[in-house]
Amino acid sequence: MTIAVTGATGQLGRLVIEDLKTRVPAGDIVALVRDPAKAADLGVAVRVADYAQPETLATALAGVDTLLLISSDAVGQRVAQHRNVIEAAKVAGVKRIAYTSILHADTTPIALAQEHVATEALIKASGLTYALLRNGWYFENYTGSLAGAIAAGAIIGASREGRVSAATRQDYAEAAAVVVSTPDTENRVYELAGDTAFTRADLAAEVSRQTGKTIVYNDLPEATYAGILESFGLPAPYAAIIAQSDVGAGHGGLFDESHTLSGLIGRPTTSLTDAVAQALKTLG
């Protein structure tokens, strides 16, 4: 069984490839990338594949049995790009496609879900056997900005007391590797999230505990939060998306208690304590 992974040099893709190599022979794995030079260290076959260039896709997918389509990061262009991949998969004779969607895509109040829902519909209409990996938020979405939060003495957001069932990229990567390396002819939807939910205030308290510094959580109106993110250098549209997602989290959009993720990977998902500790370790 040949398994191909798109976006294989991205943060999630690399982790999936590394975990897959512990489950199947490296010779059965194909890394699909835009720039082969960046994939030289992956230790698997590499093929050029660009979501936005359909002419590269059919050739890249030749002989592939199972495809992991890691969602494009081009917000606003995702549906068209994903359509290119799905159509090429059909032409190439791919039998099964797994797609990294968003938690509770069909019911979440988070606007980012719209492109994921549209992609899921394309996959379902394709006739291919599918696995929808509806990933919750990454811990890294929060811990990636801890240096600035510690310096300022505050974590900011707009999620109020919304509980977030986050997990690490590694957790989600392992789940993806398990799914694509397990032969299955059934169509499945996996709601994937961390075992234990936390609020932004819980995050601030944990950072305070581990650093010995007082870190508070300042909850802000959506527009104010977006404006601050923009002042940090984020493009206005992206800042608006982050702020709206945070508000959605406040309405339960990132909460899940199914424990599907830990069931797939055969261990508890990474805890808030461990995720913060890992992040602080990288700060030195």
What's the helix, strand, coil split of the chain in %, to 5?
45, 20, 35
Number of domains in the chain: 1
Asked if the structure places residue 131 within a domain, the reply is yes
Structure-token pair, residue 260:
């599907």
Asked if the structure places residue 275 within a domain, the reply is no
Determine contact, residues 245/110, Cβ cutoff 8 Å: yes
The span from the CA of 167 to the CA of 143, in Å, is 11
| Of the candidates 85, 101, 124, the residue with the CA atom closest to the CA atom of residue 4 | 85
Whether 202 has a pLDDT exceeding 90, the answer reads: yes
Start-end of H helices in 21-168 = 57-60, 78-92, 113-126, 140-143, 146-152
Q: pLDDT, tens digit, for every residue of 83-105? A: 999 999 999 999 999 999 999 99
Whether 216 has a pLDDT exceeding 80, the answer reads: yes
Whether 144 has a pLDDT exceeding 90, the answer reads: yes
The span from the CA of 89 to the CA of 141, in Å, is 31
Asked if the structure places residue 42 within a domain, the reply is yes
Whether 70 has a pLDDT exceeding 80, the answer reads: yes
**pLDDT average, residue stretch 153-176:** 98
Give the DSSP letter of residue 27.
G
Asked if the structure places residue 46 within a domain, the reply is yes
Supply the CATH number for residue 85's domain: 3.40.50.720
**pLDDT average, residue stretch 223-233:** 96
Residue whose structure tokens are 């995720």: 275
pLDDT for 90 equals: 96
Whether 284 has a pLDDT exceeding 80, the answer reads: no
End-to-end CA distance of the chain: 43
Asked if the structure places residue 82 within a domain, the reply is yes
Helix (H) or strand (E) run with residue 273 in it: helix 272-283
Distances in Å between the Cα of 188 and the Cα atoms of 65, 116, 197 are 17, 16, 24
Asked if the structure places residue 24 within a domain, the reply is yes
Q: At 206, is the pLDDT very low, low, confident or very high (cuts 50, 70, 90)?
A: very high
Please, is 213 exposed, middle or buried when counting C-beta atoms within 10 Å of its C-beta (0-12, 13-18, 19+)? exposed
Spatial neighbors of 146 by CB under 8 A, at least 6 apart, are 207, 276, 279, 280, 283
pLDDT for 75 equals: 86
The string of DSSP codes covering 176-211 is HHHHHTS---S-EEEEE--SS-B-HHHHHHHHHHHH
pLDDT for 19 equals: 98
Whether 191 has a pLDDT exceeding 80, the answer reads: yes
Spatial neighbors of 231 by CB under 8 A, at least 6 apart, are none
Whether 147 has a pLDDT exceeding 90, the answer reads: yes
pLDDT, averaged across the chain = 96
**pLDDT average, residue stretch 14-32:** 98
| Of the candidates 47, 74, 46, 68, the residue with the CA atom closest to the CA atom of residue 58 | 47
Asked if the structure places residue 233 within a domain, the reply is no
pLDDT for 137 equals: 97
Find the domain containing 66 and state its range. 3-135+169-192
Percent of the chain at pLDDT exceeding 70: 100
Asked if the structure places residue 161 within a domain, the reply is no
